[in-house]
């Protein structure tokens, strides 16, 4: 048997410890307790109602009515009565799970609940998860094969949106201590009948696995919660490294593989770039990306399709595009200079080309798609070069070339976004700064 060396984070009374967790929000904040009506949140509300006498803050409660259980109305009524007994205003929000049912019942309830939290007019939502919940979450995520983010389990504080956050002031407190407090204060609460349903993985861990673990390792819960804190720190550090590496290797959302990172740092910043673009690749797809897009021959043009997106490599750069790139219509687009003239530049959606204003005045404009065989002379006195050659020289990926509109003035190719303006259309002394930002599927 292992001795419970770190069996408790206790120092000071429960009330003092909760007060200390609140210190960053005091005074003058509006705190809203997520009140399910169960033991944990009833204790939390009671603690806060007690603290309110010595500290300045506005206290509210919110019960989210999921409409799942036949007892849901009774729970909502209980939550309102419980809050009223403590002199706290409690709102009840009915939510619909229908839009989220793909996530399963539990997941849908959770998403709808957090959406309801985010709608509250307060500075912080207080939730009553405790140390045992944290331990269950760590073990559950470990068994599901989560990465660091999952093993870090629940953070004590995180922002929910721009104006409010979620605080879990009881995360270092054992369930048994909350039960003892409730008994001491004569509190009553409701039991969620689903807590005993072994169908739910968490309940199986709570009711069957943890009692056995605790019989051998009495401090297992604290230890697992401590592991979560270590992992959270490591995860935070990786995020910091990813952010600074991102600044070095990503420009205009194009990932430059030529930057010399160790393989692990490359994986870290690559994952970060993908997530920034809303691509949460699963482990298999991520390895596939490393294998094909990162490690294949230099002249290959590998593509990894993920749902509606694609990660494409051209030379040493990775691009995120739509899986199916739609080509612009092969028709001539009429140009409307009075609308599109912007600070001395022609602009069309994301493409901008610097052409002298005096040349633009009175000219006939057209945007045409590339048909092949076009040439451009980029420097006065220089050679005319094929567009294909110029694109290759500039490293413009092939899938984008078809979608870059060519600018014609009076029927002649005058400029190509990203490449430049034909010498015949540049006035002397004018600095031409062609601008083109590759975006999803090209210029769109």
Ligand X SMILES: Nc1ncnc2c1ncn2[C@@H]1O[C@H](COP(=O)(O)OP(=O)(O)OP(=O)(O)O)[C@@H](O)[C@H]1O
Known binding residues for ATP: 36-41
Q: 59 near 48, Cβ under 8 Å?
A: yes
Stretch that binds ligand X, among 35-43, 173-181, 304-312, 385-393 (CB under 6 A): 35-43
The least distance separating ligand X from the CB of residue 204, rounded to whole angstroms, comes to 14
Judged by CB under 6 A, which of 18, 62, 249, 250 binds ligand X?
A: 62
The least distance separating ligand X from the CB of residue 70, rounded to whole angstroms, comes to 15
Stretch that binds ligand X, among 36-44, 220-228, 242-250, 422-430 (CB under 6 A): 36-44
Q: Supply angle C-alpha 229, 17, 46, rounded to 5.
A: 115
Stretch that binds ligand X, among 56-64, 215-223, 269-277, 334-342 (CB under 6 A): 56-64
Q: Is the dihedral of CA 284, 285, 286, 288 positive or negative?
A: positive
Choice between 133 and 245, CB closer to ligand X: 133
Burial class (CB in 10 A: 0-12, 13-18, 19+), 325: middle
Choice between 180 and 424, CB closer to ligand X: 180
Choice between 127 and 266, CB closer to ligand X: 127
Choice between 199 and 361, CB closer to ligand X: 199
Choice between 128 and 266, CB closer to ligand X: 128
The least distance separating ligand X from the CB of residue 212, rounded to whole angstroms, comes to 21
Q: Residues 107 to 166: which contact ligand X by CB under 6 A? A: 110, 113, 127-129, 133, 154
| 145: CB partners within 8 A, 6+ apart | 283
Q: Which H helix or E strand runs over 36?
A: none
The least distance separating ligand X from the CB of residue 55, rounded to whole angstroms, comes to 20
Judged by CB under 6 A, which of 64, 90, 225, 400 binds ligand X?
A: 64
The least distance separating ligand X from the CB of residue 74, rounded to whole angstroms, comes to 13
Choice between 164 and 407, CB closer to ligand X: 164
Distance of CA 12 to CAs 17, 179, 180, 219, 411, Å? 6, 17, 15, 20, 83
Stretch that binds ligand X, among 30-38, 173-181, 208-216, 380-388 (CB under 6 A): 30-38
Distance of CA 60 to CAs 35, 68, 120, 428, Å? 10, 24, 10, 69
Choice between 170 and 360, CB closer to ligand X: 170
Judged by CB under 6 A, which of 41, 120, 134, 221 binds ligand X?
A: 41
For residues 242 and 262, give the distance between their C-alpha atoms in angstroms, rounded to a whole number.
12
For residues 217 and 236, give the distance between their C-alpha atoms in angstroms, rounded to a whole number.
29
DSSP string, 142-153: HHTT--HHHHT-
Is 17 one of the binding residues for ligand X (CB under 6 A)? Answer: no
Pairing state of beta strands 157-159 and 165-167? antiparallel
Chain residue at closest Cβ approach to ligand X: 34
Q: Is the dihedral of CA 228, 231, 236, 239 positive or negative?
A: negative
Question: 3-state class of 320 per DSSP?
Answer: strand
For residues 108 and 279, give the distance between their C-alpha atoms in angstroms, rounded to a whole number.
21
Positions in the binding site for ligand X (CB under 6 A): 34-36, 40-41, 62-64, 110, 113, 127-129, 133, 154
């Amino acid at each position: 048997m292992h001795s419970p060396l770190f069996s408790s984070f206790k120092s000071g009374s429960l009330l003092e410890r909760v007060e200390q967790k609140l210190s960053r929000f005091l005074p003058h904040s509006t705190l809203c307790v997520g009140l399910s009506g169960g033991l944990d949140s009833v204790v939390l509300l009671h603690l806060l109602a007690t603290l309110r006498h010595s500290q300045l803050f506005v206290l509210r409660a919110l019960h989210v009515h999921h409409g799942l259980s036949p007892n849901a109305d009774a729970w909502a009524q209980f939550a309102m009565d419980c809050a009223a007994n403590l002199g706290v205003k409690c709102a009840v929000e009915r939510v619909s799970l229908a839009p989220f049912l793909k996530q399963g019942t539990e997941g849908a309830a959770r998403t709808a609940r957090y959406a309801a939290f985010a709608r509250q007019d307060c500075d912080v939502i207080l939730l009553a998860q405790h140390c045992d919940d944290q331990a269950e979450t760590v073990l559950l995520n470990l068994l599901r094969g989560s990465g660091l983010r999952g093993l870090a389990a629940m953070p004590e504080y995180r922002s929910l949106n721009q104006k409010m956050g979620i605080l879990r002031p009881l995360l270092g407190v054992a369930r048994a201590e909350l039960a003892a407090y409730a008994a001491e204060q004569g509190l009553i609460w409701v039991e969620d009948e689903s807590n005993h349903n072994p169908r739910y993985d968490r309940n199986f861990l709570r009711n069957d696995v943890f009692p056995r673990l605790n019989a051998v390792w009495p401090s297992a819960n604290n230890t697992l919660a401590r592991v979560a804190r270590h992992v959270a720190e490591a995860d935070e550090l990786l995020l910091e490294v990813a952010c600074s590496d991102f600044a070095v290797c990503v420009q205009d959302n194009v990932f430059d593989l030529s930057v010399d990172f160790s393989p692990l740092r490359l994986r870290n910043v690559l994952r970060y770039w993908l997530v920034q673009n809303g691509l949460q690749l699963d482990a298999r797809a991520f390895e596939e990306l490393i294998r094909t897009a990162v490690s294949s021959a230099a002249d290959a043009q590998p593509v990894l399709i993920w749902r509606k997106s694609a990660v494409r490599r051209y030379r040493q750069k990775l691009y995120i595009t739509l899986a199916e790139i739609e080509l612009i219509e092969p028709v001539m687009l009429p140009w409307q200079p009075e609308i599109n003239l912007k600070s001395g530049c022609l602009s069309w959606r994301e493409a901008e080309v610097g052409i002298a204003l005096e040349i633009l005045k009175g000219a006939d404009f057209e945007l045409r798609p590339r048909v092949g065989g076009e040439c451009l002379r980029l420097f006065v006195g220089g050679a005319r070069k094929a567009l294909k050659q110029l694109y290759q020289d500039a490293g413009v990926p092939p899938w984008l070339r078809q979608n870059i509109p060519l600018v014609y003035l009076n029927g002649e190719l005058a400029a190509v976004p990203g490449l430049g303006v034909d010498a015949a259309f540049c006035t002397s002394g004018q600095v031409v700064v062609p601008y083109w930002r590759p975006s999803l599927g090209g210029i769109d």
